[in-house]
Amino acid sequence: MRVFVVSRGMPTEKYPLNGIFEFDQAKALVQSGVDVTMLVIDYRSNSYRRKYGCFLYDKESVHVAELSLPLGIYRRVLPLLQMFLVCIYKKAVKKFGKPDIIHAHFYSIAAIASVLKKWFKIPFFVTEHSSKMNKNILNISKLDIKLAKKAYQNADNIIAVSSTLAKNLKNNFGIDATVIPNIVDMSNFQYVEREKKDFFTFVSVGNLVLIKGFDMLIRAFADAFRNDNVFLKIVGDGLEKNNLQEIVNQCDMGRQIVFLGKLSRDKLRDVYYNGDVFVLASRSETFGLSYVEAMASGMPVVATDCGGPSDFVNEQNGYLVPVDDQNALTAALIRIHDNIFDFNRLKISELCIKKFSPENIGKQLNYLYKNQLLR
């Protein structure tokens, strides 16, 4: 079977997260025996310094046909981008062969890729990851609704990365999406035995923005552990940094709450290994990558019932609390601190790695592809 994966970019040393979900899935498909070509259309502005042009190459057993142009916001040039994508598609077919399936990620890219379904009549899959779609339709812009409809109406199969996102797609667009989570690269996040110590550390990771709920977490943590030998390490950076530091100062928690800034994956791994519990009080999560990486490292978690984590956080690996419920969060922090030895860290890690492994996700995608081709 040959699959063309349509992506917004490819990970590079300078931009390691650009197209990372798509590339990880492409590699998983290759491992499961699928011949994969990525059609990459990188239209980011020239503020993202990179080499421009059209390139054909292989990367980690994945074929790549990439077009990189500094176009910026693409809504004004959607037909032009569709023409460019058709050209890339034809080059890829000539070089790598005709696909059985075309699989696009994110509604904005899928809106462009829908032209391939119309022109070449090849089964078209869309995986939705975007937080913009993970809300009530009244809170989605008219432009995004238009693009999403263009993507979804042309799709033979739509995949959502969480049950909550699938529910919102159903409510907003009448779509019955299949839930398949993201693949998570857990090569840096493996179980290790924790050394006994005379203090306790919570770890939280995320962009310092309102939607991540750090303001509530800081206040809940202060209510739970003021003047105790319990610490909260916050990893990340963002616009709310100064406001959050002010909340820490107001709570007089400067000794116990520490901001570590943005860290590399290697340094983040060490923070996880030296921590006891992961906590993130997000107000909305389409998936929840940080929770998964922490669990793979053997950490139980405290999460909010905010979307993605609702699919995988349970009594075996942690606690779920309602969104924006500070009292419930305080109670959960105290409860997990007092009952930390009830959790089997090795089992948390093993089950997490199994659920989000390339083998598992590749198997689920292969099943959908084969069913589509049998129709």
Residue ranges making up the domain that contains 239: 200-355
Separation of CA 163 from chain center: 14
Residues 244, 297, single domain; the answer is yes
> Strands 2-7 and 301-304, how do they pair?
unpaired
Residue 48: its pLDDT value, please?
83
pLDDT in tens, 27-83: 999 999 999 999 999 888 888 888 888 999 999 999 999 998 887 666 567 888 899
With 0-12 / 13-18 / 19 or more C-beta atoms within 10 angstroms meaning exposed / middle / buried, residue 260 is: middle
Residue 73: its pLDDT value, please?
63
Residues 298, 363, single domain; the answer is no
CA 212, CA 283: separation in Å to the nearest integer?
A: 6
In a domain, residue 30? The reply is: yes
Ranges of residues in the chain with a pLDDT under 50 are none
Residues 61, 157, single domain; the answer is yes
With 0-12 / 13-18 / 19 or more C-beta atoms within 10 angstroms meaning exposed / middle / buried, residue 165 is: buried
In a domain, residue 256? The reply is: yes
Residue 97: its pLDDT value, please?
96
Neighbour-count burial for 95-124, b at 16+ CB within 10 Å, e otherwise: ebeebbbbbbbbbbbbbbbbbbbeeeeebb
Q: 7 - beta bridge partners? A: 40
For residue 298, count other CB atoms closer than 10 A to its CB: 25
Q: How many domains does the chain have?
A: 2
Crossing angle of the two packed helices 163-173 and 142-153, in degrees rounded to 10: 100
CA 265, CA 99: separation in Å to the nearest integer?
A: 35
In a domain, residue 193? The reply is: no
User: Helix, strand, coil proportions of the chain in percent (round to 5)?
Assistant: 45, 20, 35
Residues 88, 36, single domain; the answer is yes
Residues 351, 366, single domain; the answer is no
Residue 108: its pLDDT value, please?
92
pLDDT in tens, 294-333: 999 999 999 999 999 999 999 999 999 999 999 999 999 9
What contacts 183, CB < 8 A, 6 or more positions away?
A: 21, 24, 25, 28, 356, 357, 358, 361
Residues 132, 214, single domain; the answer is no
Question: Nearest 10 degrees: CA dihedral of 259, 321, 309, 241?
Answer: -20
Task: Return phi, psi of residue 201, to 5°.
Answer: -125, 125
282: domain CATH number? 3.40.50.2000
CA 306, CA 299: separation in Å to the nearest integer?
A: 19
Residues 173, 222, single domain; the answer is no
Residues 163, 228, single domain; the answer is no
pTM as predicted: 0.87
Number of C-alpha atoms within 13 angstroms, CB side, residue 164? 22
Residue 78: its pLDDT value, please?
83
In a domain, residue 153? The reply is: yes
Residue 43: its pLDDT value, please?
84
Residue 268: its pLDDT value, please?
92
Amino acid sitting at position 21: F
